[in-house]
Amino acid sequence: MTEGKFATSVSCIDGRIQIPLSEWIKKNYSVDYVDTITEPGVDKKIAENSDLESIKTKVGISINAHKSELIIVSGHYNCAANQVSDEEHIRLIKKGVEVISSWNLGVKIIGVWVDGSWNVNSA
C-alpha cells in the first residue's frame, strides 16, 4: 500500500480558505494530503518572527512523520486577525517565507495569497 504524499499548509484559522488552499496545493504540487497548521492571522504572526515555537514544532511533525517536502505559508483577503491591505498581506507572506526558510528544514517553502474570490495565487 502507498502512504501518499503530504504537503504542509501554515494558514489562518479562517474556514473560508481551507478547501481552496487544500485543493490548489494538491493540484499544483501533486500531493495526496495537506497537513494544516492554523493560527489567526498567521502571515502577521510569522512575519513578526516571535513566539513561533508551537508552529515550528507542528511543522516538524508534518515533515518528520509524513515526509512533507513542501510548506505553504498563506494570507487571505478579509482576515479578521490581520486587517491590512492586500499589498501588506503579500509583503508579510513573503517575509514569512524568509522566516521559515531560516529554520533550515531542508524542504521547499512557498507563499500564497487567497484573494477575495477565494482563488489562490502565488505571492
Which residues of the shown chain bind Zn ion in the complex (CB under 5 A)?
12, 14, 79
Rounded to a whole number of angstroms, the minimum distance from the CB of residue 54 to Zn ion is 17
By beta-carbon proximity to Zn ion, the closer residue of 36 and 105 is 36
Q: Which is nearer to Zn ion, 63 or 76 (CB)?
A: 76
Q: Shortest distance, CB of residue 33 to Zn ion, whole angstroms?
A: 22
Q: Which C-beta is closer to Zn ion: that of 45 or that of 68?
A: 45
| CB closer to Zn ion, 31 vs 79 | 79
For 8-24, letters b (16+ CB in 10 Å) and e give: bbbbbebeebbebbbeb
State in angstroms the smallest separation of the CB of 64 from Zn ion.
27
Which residues in 40-62 are b (16+ Cβ under 10 Å) and which e? ebbbbbbbeeeebeebeebbeeb
Q: Is the dihedral of CA 46, 36, 89, 94 positive or negative?
A: positive
Q: How far is the CB of 42 from Zn ion (least distance, A)?
A: 8
